[in-house]
Structure 1
Amino acid sequence: MKIEAASLSALPGIRHAFFTRQGGVSNGLYASLNGGMGSNDSLDHVAENRARMAGALGLEPGTLMACWQVHSPDAVVLTTPWTREEAPKADAVVTAIPGLGATITVADCGPILFADPVARVVGAAHAGWKGAFGGVVEGTLKAMEGLGARRADIHAAIGPLIRQDSYEVGDDFMARFLDADRGFARFFKAAERPGHAFFNLPGFIAHRLEEAGVGHVEDLGLDTYSDEARFFSYRRATHRKEEDYGRLVAAIALEPRTQS
């Protein structure tokens, strides 16, 4: 059901998971642990799946808080639970409140989980190419700093996402990056089709994290597109002309306070 990053698992008092598609109640295209409230899956099934994910982290149902993701650089601070209708439009969630899970959903985009074990601040960011290019890493770090975190103390883990050999793009896509920095050419390699290249999204995300001063960066090295047994993939569903796709969940939380 879940995959953990070694660097985050080593931190005391912090719980996290990159959830796979396995271990839920959804059927068909969504089989089985679909966490996407915005999918066309049964909302009851999604609610049960998300409750199972919360339980796997030792959290109460309804405590995995995600935003309405819009491929922005924006991060929000989670202090109290919100409803689905109240969820802010942003692409990262950070919190210093024990028992609340900073949560994002993906289906090829990059899930990044952050933790500062000194300041006791955690965060989750949704980093597709737009977000990574547009500053969601920096936006998340700024929001964490507002809660007392220090970049040198932050551990960041890049979870399952579409990897370079599965991510073919056109020349116009590559030109956008090269116009910003010619050095970004190192994140592309030539494809057989003329006018196309393969983009290294996890490499670019890791670059943004390191350039921003994050002290510890881990990449799990997992490909959502090629590993159908464990992961949903938007691009795979698109290539198959499927009508919809499931969403994977990544979440991180400070351990809930024990009742005295």
Structure 2
Amino acid sequence: MTLEIITSDSLSPFRHGFFTRRGGASSGIFEGLNCGFGSSDQTDAVATNRARVADAMQVDLDHLVSVHQYHSAEVVALTEARQDRPKADAMVTATPGIALGILTADCQPVLFADPENGVVGAAHAGWGGAVGGVLEATVDAMEALGADRDHIRAVIGPSISQASYEVGQEYLERFLDDDPDNARFFAQGVAADKYQFDLPGYGLARLRAAGVQADWTRHCTYADPRRFYSYRRSVHDKDPDYGRLIATIRL
């Protein structure tokens, strides 16, 4: 099956893509393009999937770089390809030929591009990383490499949508403690003590407040199991594990 790659004109002319699960070598609950070595999927299948992504990005496999994500605001600036997967949740580079790869399964994959100055970035932004400032930290790190935030464009890829993201009272209070204006990202849930959180809306607001042009592809990972992996859906379905989607960009 052919790979399915979601792209955005906002990130042109850089080669990039939000890859769906279609076209991969994995099977069972991981069926498709699972790119997460952190899953319990067969290592050979994940390696094959990542090789297909590298080929689509027109780089050698060892130039498809990823990090050990842990919901932080840490950003790694790359001047050369590395395979040691440092602990971080975002990467930036001004070096041609390095494909930055972020893994997600409901969290926001965010790709950044400054076409005027030749700098790109990629970030994993779940609610914790977004609250912690990973999006702003990525923009700052791009500027340190010569980017200008007035020229930076950011695109949020397939993420869990508000309609599918129910949270509890303590979650709402955490956001209101950070900024009372965050109430606008919550809608009342079915139960009195439940709320629906707009993660992509929150990400867009943070990016735009940082002075960056930002868009969301408007794909919900939870609602479309044929195309996307979803951590939350796997929990609801009582699956033992879940696949990871990859989003990548290169100069």
TM category, shorter: over 0.9
**Equivalent pair of 1:67/1:91 in contact (CA under 8 Å):** yes
Task: Give the match for residue 145 of structure 1.
Answer: 143
Task: Give the match for residue 176 of structure 2.
Answer: 178
Which AA in structure 1 matches 2:7? E
Pair 1:98-2:96 in alignment: yes
Q: Shift of the alpha carbon at 1:6?
A: 2.4
Which AA in structure 2 matches 1:203? G
Matches within 5 A, 1:53-68: 53-68=53-68
C-alpha separation in 1, matches of 2:175 and 2:248: 29
2:32 is paired with a residue of what secondary structure? Answer: coil
1:115 is paired with a residue of what secondary structure? Answer: strand
C-alpha separation in 2, matches of 1:62 and 1:238: 33
Pair 1:118-2:148 in alignment: no
1:76 is paired with a residue of what secondary structure? Answer: strand
Task: Give the match for residue 237 of structure 2.
Answer: 240
2:239 is paired with a residue of what secondary structure? Answer: coil
Q: Shift of the alpha carbon at 1:219?
A: 0.9
Task: Give the match for residue 249 of structure 1.
Answer: 246
**Equivalent pair of 1:51/1:62 in contact (CA under 8 Å):** no
> Superposition RMSD on alpha carbons, in Å?
0.8
C-alpha separation in 2, matches of 1:82 and 1:38: 18
What does the per-residue CA deviation read over 1:113-156, in whole Å, with 9 as the maximum and x for residues that have no partner? Answer: 00000110001000000011110001111111110001110010
C-alpha separation in 2, matches of 1:156 and 1:220: 11
What does the per-residue CA deviation read over 1:22-65, in whole Å, with 9 as the maximum and x for residues that have no partner? Answer: 10111101111000011111111111101101111222222110
Pair 1:229-2:226 in alignment: yes
Count of residue correspondences? 248
Q: Shift of the alpha carbon at 1:70?
A: 0.6
**Equivalent pair of 1:5/1:218 in contact (CA under 8 Å):** no
What does the per-residue CA deviation read over 1:158-193, in whole Å, with 9 as the maximum and x for residues that have no partner? Answer: 100000000000010000011111111000000111
C-alpha separation in 1, matches of 2:92 and 2:5: 21
Which AA in structure 2 matches 1:24? G
Sequence identity percentage: 52
Task: Give the match for residue 3 of structure 1.
Answer: 6
Task: Give the match for residue 257 of structure 1.
Answer: none
2:62 is paired with a residue of what secondary structure? Answer: coil
C-alpha separation in 1, matches of 2:33 and 2:178: 38
Task: Give the match for residue 189 of structure 2.
Answer: 191
What does the per-residue CA deviation read over 1:58-114, in whole Å, with 9 as the maximum and x for residues that have no partner? Answer: 22222110100010011101122222xx21100001111111111110000000000
C-alpha separation in 2, matches of 1:66 and 1:169: 29
* Runs of at least 4 residues off by over 4 Å: none
Unaligned 5+ segments in structure 2 are none
Which AA in structure 2 matches 1:122? V
1:207 is paired with a residue of what secondary structure? Answer: helix
C-alpha separation in 2, matches of 1:217 and 1:142: 16
Matches within 5 A, 1:66-81: 66-81=66-81
2:142 is paired with a residue of what secondary structure? Answer: helix
1:176 is paired with a residue of what secondary structure? Answer: helix
**Equivalent pair of 2:62/2:82 in contact (CA under 8 Å):** no
C-alpha separation in 1, matches of 2:126 and 2:114: 23
